[in-house]
Structures are given as structure tokens and as C-alpha cells.
């Protein structure tokens, strides 16, 4: 058998390369925190890690939708409560107009109620993150159904039309949205209606409660002849009966807005519950993925130390081999 220095160097080089490869891998595992640094390390685990990552990313997407929807529903809750307060205040002023002691202040009460109408419309037009909340699927300015009589780019607008016997002020509220459902995907299999529709909250096609406020204003501001009242112009019996009927209607509308607000609260609770379940699922998926791909720091640190020791020893052996000649092997 022929012995050459190349034979010894080849074995030394192979051993040195193996040690350096193991050391480099251990160093990468510590620096990245990942157990799998190359596909060939564990192909089966790599596939499983990718599956878990895909599920986690999908869940993150749904959770983002749920969190945004929860914020939106809280904004709707604030709107509805504010509008309900305006309806209640209007009812109180309407009831106050029936008291004999304030008959001389009827026009003043009318001005209050007109202001309440403006407040209610402002609340109904509140937007959230650039889209309107109570206008159905027409949530942007460009999507609204504008008409020649409207001037603003808002879903609800007070328009002053031609006065007549039934509407001496000519005021009316135009709704430029629609009463369709907006739906979100809660998860890959189920969906949820996220919006409160104007017709559910305000009655009619979405403006009935505002029309009731206008009706109260018309009676308090104008007499039977359509002429604006003076300070001493009192309500007659028929006008008082109409006001009494309207304040009862306002009471019913107040109750309906509160019912819809409670329904909105149920949506919030349901979405919060789903979001909590997804959080638990996310933690479970991340734990599974972590078990597959995260580095066992203690073990890898020991492996790295061992490989460094082996590397130093191998280099020492290599230095001695390089000093030997063929005569050393023949002795």
C-alpha cells in the first residue's frame, strides 16, 4: 500500500470541514434563534412550519378585520346614543310647550328644536376612518346618491324646499345612502353584518325620526295659516293635541333607537368573543411552530462549545502533521 502525505492531509481536511460546518450551523442557530437554518436540516418540519405560518398569517388578517370592526361599532354606539339624547331633548321641549306657563315662549322652543335637528344630522353624518357609518354600503362621498336639491357630500342633509300647508317651513331631511348590509368575514367560514342601517335606527326609509322633529318645529314655529308665530301666539287645542301625539311618537322612536343601540352592543360582545378565541388559537399555533423551529439555546450553546474545542484540537493535530516527513512514517 502506498502512503503519501496527501493521504493524511485528505483525511484531516475532511474532518476539519465537517467540524467547521457543524460549528457554523450551531452559530447560525444561536444568532437566528431558529433550529432549522437550511431546508435539508429537516424537510418534514420545514413543511409543517410553513403550514403553521400560513395559518397564523391568515388569522392575523381576520383579527385585524375584527379589531377594526369593533372600533367602528363603538363609534356607531356613540352616534346612536347622541342622537337618542337629541330625540329625548326634543320630546322634553315639545312637552314643555304644552305647559300654560311657557305659552309665550313657543317661538323660543321652536328655535331650540331646529338646533336639535341640526345636532342630530351632524351626529348621523359622523364618519369613521374616512367612511360613513349609517349610510349602508354607500360609505364614501363619491358613492352617495346626490340630487339637484342637495348641496353637501354627506349622507344626511337638511334641505329647505317649497313651503306648503303641511310643511310650512319647507324643511326635510334627504338620505343619500342606502339600507343595505355591509358584511365582513369573521373567519374562513362565517360572516357578520357589521353596520346599523338607517331605516332600523330612524324608521321609514331612514329619516322618519328627523321628520318627526321637523313636524314639532313646524307646529311651534308657524300657526295654522303658515305664518311665523309671535311671542304671544299660543297653541290652540288642536295644535296641543298634535304636539302631544308627536311627543309620544318621539318617545317610541327614542325607545327604538335604544333597542338598535342594544343590538349594536350585542354585535360588539360577539366580535370581542370571537377575537378572544382567535387570540387563544394564535397562541396555540405559535407554540406549535416554536417547538418545531426555535433553537434550544442551552443545547446549541453546548454543541457550539464542543465544536470549537474539536476545531482547536484538530488544528493542533494538523499543525503537527505538516511538520512530519515521509521518514517519520517509516520509523
Summarize pLDDT for 177-209 with one digit per residue, the tens. Answer: 999 999 888 777 888 888 999 999 999 999 999
C-alpha dihedral over 84, 87, 93, 98, to 10 degrees?
Answer: -120
pLDDT digits (tens, 9 = 90+) for 232-245: 888 889 999 999 99
* Domain covering 65-286: architecture: Up-down Bundle (1.20)
Per-residue pLDDT at 139 exceeds 90: yes
CB 161 within 8 A of CB 172: yes
pLDDT band at 1 (very low <50, low <70, confident <90, very high): very low
The residue-averaged pLDDT of 21-46 equals: 60
CB 275 within 8 A of CB 282: no
How many beta carbons lie within 10 A of that of residue 151, not counting itself? 10
73/184 Cα distance (integer angstroms) = 13
pLDDT band at 105 (very low <50, low <70, confident <90, very high): confident
CB 136 within 8 A of CB 177: yes
Global confidence as pTM: 0.74
The residue-averaged pLDDT of 307-316 equals: 64
Handedness of CA 259, 260, 261, 265 (dihedral sign): positive
Amino acid at each position: 500500500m502506498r502512503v503519501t502525505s496527501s493521504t493524511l492531509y485528505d483525511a484531516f481536511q475532511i474532518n476539519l470541514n465537517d467540524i467547521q460546518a457543524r460549528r457554523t450551523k450551531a452559530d447560525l442557530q444561536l444568532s437566528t434563534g431558529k433550529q432549522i437554518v437550511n431546508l435539508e436540516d429537516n424537510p418534514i418540519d420545514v413543511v409543517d412550519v410553513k403550514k403553521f405560518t400560513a395559518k397564523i398569517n391568515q388569522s392575523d388578517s381576520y383579527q385585524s378585520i375584527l379589531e377594526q370592526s369593533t372600533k367602528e361599532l363603538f363609534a356607531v354606539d356613540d352616534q346612536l346614543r347622541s342622537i337618542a339624547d337629541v330625540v329625548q331633548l326634543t320630546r322634553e321641549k315639545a312637552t314643555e310647550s304644552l305647559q300654560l306657563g311657557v305659552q309665550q315662549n313657543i317661538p323660543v322652543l321652536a328655535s331650540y328644536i331646529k338646533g336639535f335637528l341640526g345636532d342630530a344630522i351632524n351626529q348621523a353624518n359622523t364618519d369613521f376612518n374616512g367612511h360613513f357609518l349609517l349610510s349602508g354600503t354607500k360609505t364614501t362621498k363619491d358613492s352617495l346618491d346626490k340630487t339637484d336639491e342637495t348641496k353637501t357630500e354627506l349622507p344626511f342633509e337638511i334641505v329647505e324646499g317649497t313651503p306648503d300647508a303641511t310643511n310650512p317651513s319647507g324643511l326635510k331631511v334627504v338620505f343619500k345612502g342606502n339600507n343595505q348590509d355591509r358584511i365582513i368575514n369573521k373567519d374562513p367560514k362565517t360572516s357578520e353584518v357589521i353596520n346599523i342601517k338607517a331605516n332600523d335606527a330612524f324608521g321609514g326609509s331612514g329619516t322618519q325620526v328627523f321628520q318627526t322633529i321637523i313636524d314639532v318645529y313646524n307646529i311651534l314655529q308657524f300657526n295654522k295659516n303658515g305664518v311665523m308665530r309671535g311671542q304671544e301666539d299660543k297653541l290652540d287645542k288642536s295644535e296641543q293635541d298634535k304636539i302631544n301625539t308627536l311627543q309620544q311618537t318621539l318617545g317610541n322612536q327614542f325607545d327604538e333607537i335604544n333597542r338598535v343601540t342594544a343590538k349594536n352592543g350585542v354585535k360588539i360582545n360577539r366580535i370581542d368573543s370571537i377575537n378572544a378565541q382567535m387570540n387563544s388559537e394564535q397562541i396555540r399555533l405559535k407554540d406549535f411552530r416554536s417547538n418545531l423551529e426555535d433553537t434550544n439555546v442551552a443545547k446549541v450553546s453546548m454543541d457550539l462549545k464542543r465544536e470549537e474545542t474539536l476545531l482547536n484540537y484538530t488544528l493542533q493535530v494538523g499543525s503537527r502533521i505538516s511538520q512530519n516527513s515521509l521518514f517519520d512514517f517509516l520509523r
